[in-house]
């Protein structure tokens, strides 16, 4: 048996219920893993509210770290006793023990503890595919400006550090002076408190009127229009979340009028669709963390039983860095 968070219908944090569930043996291509810590991400809110629909009742949670207890037929990259971490479909990480597909589970280097492993996988792999795989025409070069919204969040703080290591000039936005200072301390070249000043003219000022080569945006509706105007000609709008709500439909013709812009909507799970791609991206992330180029900040810890409070704080934008559930 395992304690596990379940949702029976879409809704608010009160729909999150801790139940005892039975855990079976892994089938072909699966493992059973006992978690030591679980990561919290905004995609979990989308699953809970129904923005990203799940078949109910459902588990929830997309990343965790722990020890492999058993492996099914055909699993060759893991064995019982291995330390491991993952960001993976299907949801269900908010639990003590689970059976799950092995494809996107990676061995966790000994130099990385379980809490860090649980906090870093989904957010770190997201930062990896954004900065390394989601690039504007001609790529990104040292000195290039990029705009990163929610720069003091879990993905944002990793991106600030990684962008600095790549020689990029990252302009980060956040909602308080404290969050801006945090992003600046971890590598953002410039920061903008969007509650105190309009980020569009500030970006134009910072870039000498040229705009940025790429905008990385997990906020969605509230930042979309001005973000397009922050781009230089042939710039890339890379949307990867909807924290303020989904982006409304728009006429493609505006992209021409604003400078022959490119738009993409990215998801991590397209990038980690194969075992080979997952391992390649994870190796890049593990190297960045073990070298010290990227430090994983865990600013909030909640026991599994306080999962409702964790979701309320996340939605209220009270959190910074990474958040984990402890077991």
Tell me the pLDDT tens digit for each residue of 90-149: 999 999 999 999 999 999 999 999 999 999 999 999 999 999 999 999 999 999 999 999
Structure-block tokens of residue 248: 């409304």
> What is the rounded average pLDDT for all residues in the chain?
96
Write the CB contacts of 52 (distance below 8 Å, at least 6 apart in sequence): 43, 46
Tell me the pLDDT tens digit for each residue of 61-92: 999 999 999 999 999 999 999 999 999 989 99
Delimit the domains of the chain by residue range. Answer: 2-123+269-326, 135-265
Which is nearest to 139 in space by CA: 288, 262, 282? Answer: 262
Fold topology of 135-265: Rossmann fold (3.40.50)
Confidence of residue 242 (pLDDT cuts 50, 70, 90): confident
Q: Are strands 2-7 and 17-21 parallel, antiparallel or unpaired?
A: antiparallel
Task: Report the distance separating Cα 132 and Cα 29, nearest Å.
Answer: 29
| pLDDT recorded at residue 302 | 98
Specify the CATH number for 2-123+269-326; select among 3.40.50.280, 3.90.180.10, 2.40.50.1070, 1.20.1070.10. 3.90.180.10
Which is nearest to 171 in space by CA: 134, 126, 217? Answer: 217
């Amino acid at each position: 048996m395992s304690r596990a968070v379940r949702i029976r219908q879409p809704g608010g944090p009160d729909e999150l219920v801790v139940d005892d569930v039975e855990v079976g043996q892994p089938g072909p291509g699966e493992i059973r893993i006992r978690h030591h810590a679980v990561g919290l991400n905004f995609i979990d809110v989308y699953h809970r509210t129904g923005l990203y629909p799940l078949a109910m009742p459902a588990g929830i949670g997309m990343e965790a770290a722990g020890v492999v207890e058993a492996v099914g037929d055909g699993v060759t990259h893991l064995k019982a006793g291995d330390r491991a971490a993952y960001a993976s479909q299907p949801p269900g990480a908010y639990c003590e023990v689970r059976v799950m597909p092995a494809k996107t589970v990676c061995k966790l280097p000994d130099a990385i503890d379980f809490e860090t492993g649980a906090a870093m996988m989904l957010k770190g792999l997201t930062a990896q595919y954004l900065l390394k795989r989601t690039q504007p025409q001609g790529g990104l070069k040292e000195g290039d400006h990029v705009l990163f919204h929610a720069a003091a969040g879990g993905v944002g703080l990793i991106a600030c550090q990684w962008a600095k290591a790549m020689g990029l000039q990252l302009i980060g936005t956040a909602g308080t002076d404290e969050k801006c200072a945090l992003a600046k301390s971890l590598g953002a070249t410039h920061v903008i408190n969007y509650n105190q000043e309009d980020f569009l003219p500030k970006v134009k000022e910072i870039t000498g009127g040229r705009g940025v080569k790429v905008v990385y945006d997990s906020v969605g509706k509230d930042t979309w229009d001005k973000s397009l105007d922050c781009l230089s000609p042939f710039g890339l709008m890379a949307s990867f979340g909807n924290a303020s709500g989904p982006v409304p439909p728009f006429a493609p013709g505006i992209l021409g009028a604003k400078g022959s812009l490119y738009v993409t909507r990215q998801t991590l799970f397209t990038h980690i669709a194969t075992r080979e791609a997952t391992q390649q991206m994870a190796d890049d992330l593990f190297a960045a963390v073990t070298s010290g180029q990227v430090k994983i900040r865990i600013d909030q810890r909640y026991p599994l039983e306080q999962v409702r409070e964790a979701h309320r704080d996340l939605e209220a934008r009270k959190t910074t860095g990474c958040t984990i559930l402890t077991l």
